[in-house]
Amino acid sequence: MALQKLELTFLQVKHLPIGTHSLGGVPGLYLRKTANRSWYFFRYTDLTGKRRDMTLGNFTVISLKEAKALARDARSDLEKGIDPINNRQQQKAKAKAEAIANSIPKIMTFGELAMEWLHYRASNGYWKNNNKGEKDTLQILKRHVLPSLGRMDIENIYAEQVRDCLAPIWQSIPSTARKAKTYISQVINWAIAMRKRKNQLDPTDLKGPFGVLMEPFNQDRKEKTHHPACPVSELPELMQTIYQYDSISARATAFAILTATRLQAVRMAAWSEFNLEKGTWTIPASHDKIKKAGRDRTIFLSRQVIDLLRTTPRFVRSQLVFSNNGRMMSNMALSEFIEGLHEKKYQEDRIGWIDPMESERRGEACRITLHGTARSTFRTWAKDDVLGNNRRFDQEAVELCLLHSKNDAYQGAYDRARLVNERREIMQCWADYALSLCQLSDVDGKTA
């Protein structure tokens, strides 16, 4: 029976003479000592029967305990059929390859950054008051931007690449092209702000190279169109028709027209925004198209609008004024209501609710829209010279009724007049005219 090698202590190892010594404890653990240095190694016979020595470390660098642990690991590899020296060489090669890979800057594509930008907006509440905002943005990116720019390195996107992306839609669907351009600019500027793009230039700047490249595409670009609106003379008849219905869509439609407001503010309107005693509706900045702080967003309510609100049912599950089973109404729901009115009238007179001016301009019949009727019809009525409104109403007050900012170089910085009395009168006269064919009873039962 072979004698087992005694396990040497550290002091014993330290005072070993020059030569090669088995240290015991772990089969194959040795120390080789010369006049200049000493080092640990692991001696073993590989799978081919060849004796090999695997260096474990310098005596002055690693401890005896560490040397034993390394020898045990090597012995374990050997028992698994793995050559310890070959395995260590492979691990070093792998680590070297990873180090090289990590030293090469990772290519960030526009598509990756666009998704990060969307997530950044969503996680910080950018769309908290617009449940379709993220979906609509993503749809335009997927359809019109990512097929062209999605796989491109964010550093290599210049005016030429943006031109190639937007040129196919620049003339045919300019409104979508403008949105796509805006999203491209926002993604790139977000990447610059987050230090994920070193190139500081915005390749979508129309005042720079991009604008020069897009000049040929501006020649045959579709003329900007307006939302078709109900003619002023036909509005009382339209409102009479709307008031024949008592659905939430009908109420929201009538409310939008009588307040001359944008549909987003109408759909998001909450009861807490109204003071019916004072006859005011204060639209939050988050519901407004223009987010400028300190802007007057007060809508003065006519008697008819106050009556409409007081008779509108409230939902326990929602604070929204115009709620679809507790959920916010969509633009489509209101559009479908107007479309239904048009179809019904078309069956009667083969004309329907049409904007004659816009139809002539486009060369095709243009059905009226709620946005056009609420905004454009109101603005046209307010300056109608046949009705004498152009002399009757303060036109600046009319603009304030539409929540239009003062259009001057100082953005109204020195003009603090709110023209409250004028705005109240305008909105009451508008409701009186719009509902002039309707026989309405207020909440007290009196006929208006």
The per-residue pLDDT for 105 is 60
Are the beta carbons of 273 and 281 closer than 8 angstroms?
A: yes
pLDDT at 444 over 60: no
The two beta strands, 274-275 and 51-58, are: unpaired
Query: What value does the mean pLDDT take over residues 409-424?
Result: 64
pLDDT at 407 over 80: no
Identify the structural domains of the chain with CATH numbers, from first to last.
10-103 (3.30.160.390), 110-218 (1.10.150.130), 232-434 (1.10.443.10)
Q: Any idea what the Cα angle at residue 276 is, between residues 275 and 277, rounded to 5°?
A: 95
User: Per-residue confidence at 48, pLDDT binned at 50, 70, 90?
Assistant: confident
The per-residue pLDDT for 224 is 59
pLDDT at 171 over 90: no
pLDDT at 4 over 80: no
User: Tens digits of per-residue pLDDT, 129-147?
Assistant: 666 788 889 999 999 999 9
The per-residue pLDDT for 253 is 95
pLDDT at 447 over 80: no
Lowest mean pLDDT among 41-45, 190-194, 327-331, 377-381: 327-331
The per-residue pLDDT for 443 is 45
Query: What value does the mean pLDDT take over residues 149-156?
Result: 92
The per-residue pLDDT for 367 is 93
The per-residue pLDDT for 223 is 56
Give, in order, the Cα–Cα distances in Å from 182 to each of 116, 119, 171, 204, 351: 16, 17, 16, 8, 39
pLDDT at 423 over 90: yes
pLDDT > 90: percent of the chain: 54
pLDDT at 370 over 50: yes
Of the CA atoms within 13 Å of residue 156, those in its CB half-sphere come to 9
User: Per-residue confidence at 99, pLDDT binned at 50, 70, 90?
Assistant: confident
**Beta sheet of 51-58, edge-to-edge order:** 19-22, 29-33, 38-45, 51-58
User: Per-residue confidence at 1, pLDDT binned at 50, 70, 90?
Assistant: very low
User: Per-residue confidence at 445, pLDDT binned at 50, 70, 90?
Assistant: very low
Q: How far apart are the C-alpha atoms of 173 and 168, rounded to whole Å?
A: 9
The per-residue pLDDT for 427 is 95
User: Tens digits of per-residue pLDDT, 337-346?
Assistant: 999 999 999 9
The per-residue pLDDT for 276 is 94
The per-residue pLDDT for 2 is 45
Rounded-to-10 torsion of CA 86, 92, 97, 102: 160
pLDDT at 104 over 60: no
Query: What value does the mean pLDDT take over residues 264-272?
Result: 92
User: Per-residue confidence at 413, pLDDT binned at 50, 70, 90?
Assistant: very low
Q: Across the chain, how many H-helices and E-strands are there? A: 20, 9
More confident call, 413 vs 429: 429
Q: Of 330, 430, 421, 423, which is closest to residue 374 (Cα–Cα)?
A: 430
Q: What rounded mean pLDDT belongs to the chain?
A: 87
Residue 433 CB: number of other CB atoms within 10 A?
17
Rg value, the chain, Cα: 39
User: Per-residue confidence at 417, pLDDT binned at 50, 70, 90?
Assistant: low
CA diameter of the chain = 125
pLDDT > 70: percent of the chain: 90
Q: How far apart are the C-alpha atoms of 416 and 342, rounded to whole Å?
A: 43
More confident call, 6 vs 105: 6
More confident call, 316 vs 307: 307
